[in-house]
Amino acid sequence: MEATQPPETALKFYDELLETDSSNAAIYKRRISVLIRIGKIEQAVTELSDYLDTFYTDVEGWVELAELYSSCNQYTSATRALSHALLLAPQNPFYVLQFAETAYTADDIPLAIKMFMLALDIIDRHASEESIPTGVSIRAWYGVKLCCRALSERSCSSASDTLLPKNLPLLDELSTERVLTAYSAAGKDNATGRELVLSWMGPSDRSGGRLHFVR
């Protein structure tokens, strides 16, 4: 119907279905998707919130709500929605990483670095010290590096009252080493990306692609 009929017709049809079966989660979500498609984001947020009051265990619903909040620059509300997703799926590194990135965008840097480290704890739990970061792991280490840089350049408050890690200089060195290791392993195929990362980090963060650790 959505492909052949106007959105208003689809919404009316879904309303009629919900009047006869208010427990039909699939119809609720189809209606919300139509609202999003036609740009009625505020109404979609309201209806998705109401939907989740009834269907609390819908993890994807909480993630979608967080993305809607983020699209409206309401990042604190987005992290609140993601916190429900984490309660339901605490071992999903993608949700933890999304929470960390959202907290970083909301400028809650202490919370962001805490969640980036949690994501890494889940992702790299069984990895060896010689392993090369890939995929989600690279994103998380890069997030740690961004947080360390932000914390070194300015005073960062935390709306969530999250405490800073005590070993911040060590985390800064470790995140630098991990990111450089990942890009070094990429070889010639990713030479441009490697040079961009090295340029961003600056000479104080690197020496031939590796760190000089203080002994």
* pLDDT-based confidence at residue 207 (cuts at 50, 70, 90): very low
- For residue 113, the cross-strand partners are none
Share of the chain above pLDDT 70, in %: 81
> Residue 31: what pLDDT?
95
Please tell me whether residue 210 adopts helix, strand or coil conformation: strand
Residue 8, token pair as written in the block: 């208003």
Residue 190, token pair as written in the block: 């990713």
The single-letter code of the amino acid at 80 is R
* pLDDT-based confidence at residue 20 (cuts at 50, 70, 90): very high
Burial of residue 93 (number of CB atoms within 10 Å: 0-12, 13-18, 19+): buried
- Give the pTM: 0.83
**pLDDT at 103 exceeding the cut of 50:** yes
Q: Are the beta carbons of 211 and 176 closer than 8 angstroms? A: yes
What backbone phi and psi angles, to 5 degrees, belong to 207? -160, 100
* pLDDT-based confidence at residue 134 (cuts at 50, 70, 90): confident
Q: How many residues does the chain have?
A: 215
Please tell me whether residue 207 adopts helix, strand or coil conformation: strand
Question: What letters, b where the CB count within 10 A reaches 16 and e where it falls short, cover 115-132?
Answer: bbbbbbebbbeeeeeeee
In the predicted model, what is the mean pLDDT of the chain? 86
pLDDT in tens, 113-123: 999 999 999 99
